[in-house]
């Protein structure tokens, strides 16, 4: 019996050869597509100038230039902030220009000096413009500083790309702090102006560009007064129980915030003094003098005017600065106090306010203020009066 093998079809072989040839052609074509011809120009790389040798060299970024820096990225490490260098420009000057500025309130987020220039990731550009002149001014030998409510336009810029990462506008009142101990004046210029220190406000705006939960600088109790003039303190965002209310008081608008010479029934600050971050809210209390009751003369030419009137209470959320409550209360005076710490040559004073003020403030944290009992009016006492830091002097009342 004869065995025969099947004969391959010529048609099948032809199809196979055609398929192999097509595959080879396609493969070659793909290789040719990926291969750059000798005549085709190489892709252009965007040129970035080298990093400046000093921090002042980053000033050009505010004008639209690109410079070398540490590449910005939003970190995940809470101990690794993206550091910033700050430049400010007063728009009301004859020839406005950006100048390098170091600010309080940015510890750990602002490069200290040129030794940390390699850490710069962001540039902050701040334009300041006068809005309202406050009644408060600082007088020195040889000069005066006017204090203005100002409008601030803040931009954070990526120095390598030259792109704005954020931009916002806000206002700040400088009366959260008193006058500085010293001031310098340029020759021939005895009157200058200034706005508020905006370091804390800049930090608040910088946080969205930082790692979630990044470690923040420590704050003191007096830093909470800034909340009354527009500066949030995000350090109190996670106020631990029991939370409290920080109280800032001033007898009239032109005064700085503080608690010296506070009227009776205005809460104390034991809680926020010991743990500033426990202050979930800040109560900003401003006196509104209406009827003068008496004039009290103290030694060294100091005069205290006591009034009846009202006090306006504005309660703000510490972490955001948002107003969450407002109310007014009656304030009255009967006799001159035995002592007074003066802010100026002539001061305004209220002896007491309605007890309901304490209840209103305490209602934001469950009805009581840790470390501060509801004050009770004390009986008036006679005796000498003290000036400033507690030195006793006799006085007379007109």
What does the chain come to in residues? 398
Phi, psi dihedral angles at 353 (to 5 degrees) = -125, 170
| pLDDT above 50 (res 141) | yes
| pLDDT above 50 (res 132) | yes
Mean pLDDT, all residues of the chain: 82
* Top-confidence range, 139-153, 181-195, 260-274, 377-391: 139-153
111 versus 370: the higher-pLDDT residue is 111
pLDDT at residue number 33: 53
pLDDT at residue number 23: 44
Indicate the number of domains in the chain.
Answer: 1
Phi, psi dihedral angles at 193 (to 5 degrees) = -130, 160
Share of the chain above pLDDT 90, in %: 51
Q: What is the pLDDT of residues 77-87, one digit of tens each?
A: 999 999 999 99
Q: What is the pLDDT of residues 154-164, one digit of tens each?
A: 999 999 999 99
Q: Cβ-count burial of 129 within 10 angstroms (0-12 exposed, 13-18 middle, 19+ buried)? A: middle
Question: Cα(275)–Cα(130) distance, rounded to whole angstroms?
Answer: 35
Q: Between the CA atoms of 143, 148, 151 and 157, what dihedral angle is there, to the nearest 10 degrees?
A: 30
Confidence of residue 187 (pLDDT cuts 50, 70, 90): low
Q: What is the pLDDT of residues 302-356, one digit of tens each?
A: 899 999 999 999 999 999 999 999 999 999 999 998 888 887 778 888 999 998 9
Q: Identify the domain containing residue 60 by its residue range.
A: 48-181+189-217
* Rounded mean pLDDT, 281-309: 92
Compute how many other C-beta atoms are within 10 angstroms of the C-beta atom of residue 60. 18
Closest CA to 231 of 212, 268, 203: 203
Question: Cα(328)–Cα(229) distance, rounded to whole angstroms?
Answer: 18
- Asked if 190 and 143 touch (Cβ cutoff 8 Å), the reply is yes
* Top-confidence range, 92-106, 244-258, 270-284: 92-106
99 versus 186: the higher-pLDDT residue is 99
397 versus 282: the higher-pLDDT residue is 282
Residue 203: in which H helix or E strand, if any? helix 199-206
Whether the full predicted model's pTM is greater than 0.85, yes or no, is no
pLDDT at residue number 12: 43
Confidence of residue 186 (pLDDT cuts 50, 70, 90): low
Confidence of residue 36 (pLDDT cuts 50, 70, 90): low
pLDDT at residue number 264: 87
Phi, psi dihedral angles at 190 (to 5 degrees) = -100, 0
392 versus 68: the higher-pLDDT residue is 68
pLDDT at residue number 43: 63
* Rounded mean pLDDT, 178-201: 79
DSSP category for residue 40: S
- The answer to whether position 195 is within a domain reads yes
- The answer to whether position 95 is within a domain reads yes
Confidence of residue 379 (pLDDT cuts 50, 70, 90): very low
CA-CA distances (angstroms) from residue 222 to 150, 201, 202, 279, 374? 22, 15, 18, 12, 22
Confidence of residue 151 (pLDDT cuts 50, 70, 90): very high
| pLDDT above 60 (res 114) | yes
Confidence of residue 142 (pLDDT cuts 50, 70, 90): confident
- The answer to whether position 70 is within a domain reads yes
Which residues, in sequence order, are bridge partners of residue 7?
A: none
Confidence of residue 192 (pLDDT cuts 50, 70, 90): confident
| pLDDT above 60 (res 27) | no
* Rounded mean pLDDT, 133-145: 85
pLDDT at residue number 351: 92
Pairing of strands 352-353, 391-393: unpaired
Compute how many other C-beta atoms are within 10 angstroms of the C-beta atom of residue 170. 17
Question: Cα(141)–Cα(310) distance, rounded to whole angstroms?
Answer: 36
pLDDT at residue number 10: 45
Question: Cα(184)–Cα(192) distance, rounded to whole angstroms?
Answer: 10
């Amino acid at each position: 019996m004869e065995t025969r093998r099947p004969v391959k079809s010529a048609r099948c072989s032809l199809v196979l050869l055609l398929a192999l040839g097509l595959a080879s052609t396609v493969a070659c074509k793909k290789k040719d597509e990926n291969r750059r011809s000798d005549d085709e120009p190489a892709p252009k790389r965007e040129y970035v100038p080298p990093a400046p040798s000093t921090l002042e060299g980053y000033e050009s970024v505010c004008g639209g230039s690109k410079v070398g820096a540490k590449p910005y990225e939003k970190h995940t490490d809470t101990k690794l902030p993206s550091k910033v260098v700050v430049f400010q420009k007063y728009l009301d000057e004859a020839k406005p220009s950006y100048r390098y500025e170091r600010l309080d309130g940015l510890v750990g987020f602002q490069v200290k000096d040129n030794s940390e220039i390699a850490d710069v990731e962001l540039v902050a550009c701040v334009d300041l413009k006068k809005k309202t002149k406050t009644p408060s001014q600082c007088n020195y030998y040889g000069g005066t500083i006017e204090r203005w409510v100002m409008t601030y336009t803040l931009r954070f810029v990526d120095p390598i790309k030259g792109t704005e990462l954020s931009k916002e506008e806000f206002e700040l009142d400088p009366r959260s702090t008193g006058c500085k101990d010293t001031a310098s004046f340029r020759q021939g210029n005895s009157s200058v102006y200034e706005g508020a220190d905006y370091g804390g406000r800049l930090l608040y705006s910088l946080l969205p560009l930082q790692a979630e939960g990044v470690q923040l600088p420590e704050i003191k109790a007096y830093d909470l007064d800034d909340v009354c003039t527009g500066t949030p303190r995000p350090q109190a965002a996670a106020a631990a129980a029991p939370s409290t209310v920080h109280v800032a008081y001033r007898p009239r608008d032109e005064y700085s915030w503080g608690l010296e010479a506070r009227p009776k029934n205005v809460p104390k600050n034991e809680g926020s003094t010991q743990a500033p971050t426990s202050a979930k809210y800040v109560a900003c209390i401003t006196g509104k003098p209406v009827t003068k009751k008496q004039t009290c003369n103290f030694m060294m030419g100091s005069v205290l005017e006591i009034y009846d009137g009202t006090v306006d209470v504005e309660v703000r959320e510490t972490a955001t600065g948002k107003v969450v409550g407002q109310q007014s209360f009656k304030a009255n005076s009967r006799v001159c106090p035995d002592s007074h710490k003066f802010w100026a040559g002539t001061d305004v004073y209220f002896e007491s306010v309605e007890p309901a003020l304490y209840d209103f403030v305490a209602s934001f944290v469950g009805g009581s203020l840790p470390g501060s009992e509801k004050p009770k009016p004390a009986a008036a006492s006679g005796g000498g009066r003290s000036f400033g830091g507690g030195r006793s002097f006799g006085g007379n009342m007109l």
